[in-house]
Chain A
Amino acid sequence: MIALDTVHKTFNEGTINERKALIDINLKLEEGDFVSVIGGNGAGKSTLLNLIAGVYEVDSGHIYFDGIDVTEEKEHKRARFLGRVFQDPMLGTAANMQIDENLALAYRRGKRRSLAWGIRPAEKERYKKELAMLDLGLESRMTTKVGLLSGGQRQALTLLMATIQKPRLLLLDEHTAALDPKTAQKVLELTDEIVKREGLTTFMVTHNMKDAIRHGNRLIMMSAGKIIYDVRGEEKRKLEVADLMQKFQSSAQDAIINDRMLLS
């Protein structure tokens, strides 16, 4: 359903800072895949996610959603297919708008914004139910400004916003990296729960090897702009951190395993 065909991306081409971020990427996501993507700093995993989202344009190659070539489509147009959660909890929500207003904006993702009233009463009931499922007590604070919520609450809300209008693909960009360990755990559990319930195809970039192993049915490892390892199903389930470490060390000359990955 999502396919990348010989995608290349180079930053600052022709300058002294030239960096080949992605080299000849071919990738196919199947319906219902939950892919966790892992790799060191500068491996190209976030670039890959941003190319799918349309934040950057590809240098060459094509991107297809459901067989439609979206390579030339801008970020806001592609949004009709995509639900997104960012690393920074502040980026996913509008701080000076209410919780229900944020949800109403997200509920209309990919639709034309008309002069109809921004939130209909029936929607509010639905939002209340969905918020209750987050189990954070937000359902009784629907008219609170989002800026007053904690980082974890905001990230959980972003997750709900990304999925309230069912996306064809859910993009998670290290969405727990900025949270404290306990909150991160909670948000990851929520992610699993929502993905399972809605049967979402998911692309999760992470720094954390354990999380990558524990979540999803497929694991992709990236290094120096290439996909160096791609496992799924039974083989993935048997993976352990030590295996991944070995892969890292054997594959890439310049891949440095940083402390965060080792310790977490």
Chain B
Amino acid sequence: MGIFLAIQGAASQGVLWGLMTLGLFITYKILNFADLTVDGSFALGGSVSAILITSGFSPYLSLVIAFFAGSLAGLVTGLLHTKLKIPGILAGILTMIALYSVNIRVMGQANIPLLGQETMLTLTSSFGLSKTLGSLLIGSIFSAIVIAILYWFFGTELGSAIRATGSNEKMVQALGINTESMKNIGLMLSNALVAFSGALVAQSQGYADVGMGTGTIVIGLASIIIGEVIFGKRFSFWYRLMSVVFGSILYRIIIAIVLQLGMKSTDLKLLTAVIVALALALPVINEKMTRHQKRKINRLQKKTEANKKASIQ
């Protein structure tokens, strides 16, 4: 029973964080850009949402504003990279560090509790749903909507141009597309979704904290990779988007199981890092294994041939 509840909780966390993973998918997989801004923009979304709710704004409006705040964070990284020619990873780190201060400024303190405030869960609990199921429902609805929108967007002329930018910048320029704008748009959309996810998570867990985004990038990467490994990546685009969210859910379930087995929660970041490192190393390890095996087979063949010759003589 304990594990069932834990898995239910994991699934609801998974869909809420899944929106962040979808955002990261845009930069990491589509634009081919390792964007570290997300650690900051996730917390930015939570901070913006929390301060707005405690100031009496509607929790839904706070989600919208968090979305736009995130897109601004993405734009900052984009401009640092495209206009000032700062390498992508460094541009992301700079924005991420800056956002730590910004988030504390936004909240006026390091964290804001949302106890007794109206959040998106107020609505679902009025239907008699528990916090967990409410989060799961809301997260699923938003995930479905976002997947549909992303599927449409990346099929449009603009979306195709962004996809092509991640694939072959030189070509895209030769075809008259401003690759700088494409990168900026991609980064804005990505970080908007990340901040949106941060706002949902803050409302679901009942507080926003300046440290809530720490390790977001690694969690996102782990989710994307788990999704790819389990569901494959050869299928159509909407299937890949779905697998990203499922990867996020699976990641949470793995974490829940490991915790149930008695692992310390402070060791989780180590575990996540190991999972990601292993997954990223997988293609290299695979290649080495097959080469090793080929050599082994070659050696065996030579041996048997030599034996044959020897026996004939």
A interface with B by C-beta (< 8 Å): 53, 74-77, 79-80, 82, 84, 86, 90-97, 101-102, 104-106, 108-111, 113-118, 161
Contact = CB atoms under 8 A, between A and B. Distances in A.
B163 A97 contact: yes
Interface residues of B, number: 22
B80 interface: no
Contacts of B176: 76-77, 79-80, 108-111
B164 A75 contact: no
Contact of A79 (B153, B161, B164, B174): B174
B123 interface: no
28 contacts: A74-B178, A75-B173, A76-B172, A76-B173, A76-B177, A76-B178, A76-B179, A79-B173, A79-B175, A82-B174, A92-B171, A93-B168, A94-B172, A95-B167, A97-B163, A101-B160, A101-B164, A106-B175, A110-B176, A113-B157, A114-B156, A115-B153, A115-B158, A116-B156, A117-B156, A117-B157, A118-B157, A118-B160
Contacts of B215: none
A94 B157 contact: no
A97 B167 contact: yes
Nearest to B161: A113
B174 A94 contact: no
A86 B167 contact: no
Which of A95, A96, A101, A106 has the most C-beta atoms of chain B within 10 angstroms of its own C-beta?
A96
Provide the main secondary structure of the chain B interface: helix
B211 interface: no
Contact of A113 (B158, B171, B173): B158
Nearest to A80: B176
Contacts of A93: 168, 171
B167 A94 contact: yes
B292 interface: no
Given A106-B175, A110-B176, A117 B155 contact: yes
A118 B175 contact: no
Contacts of B167: 94-97
B168 A94 contact: yes
Contact of A105 (B155, B161, B178, B179): B161
A75 B174 CA distance: 7
A118 B164 CA distance: 12
B177 A97 contact: no
Interface string B169-199: 0111111111100000000000000000000
B159 interface: yes
Contacts of B160: 97, 101, 104-105, 113, 118
Contacts of B153: 115
Contacts of A95: 167-168
A49 to B, nearest CB: 12
A140 B48 CA distance: 52
A97 B160 CA distance: 9
> What are the nearest 9 A-B pairs in CB distance?
A79-B176, A94-B167, A118-B160, A113-B157, A110-B176, A113-B158, A94-B168, A94-B164, A84-B174
Contacts of B178: 74, 76
Contacts of A110: 176
Given A118-B155, A118-B160, A53 B168 contact: no
Q: Looking at A76, A77, A91, which has the most chain B CB atoms within 10 Å of its CB?
A: A76
B104 to A, nearest CB: 37
B170 A109 contact: no
Interface string B123-163: 00000000000000000000000000000010111111101
B164 to A, nearest CB: 5
A101 B172 CA distance: 12
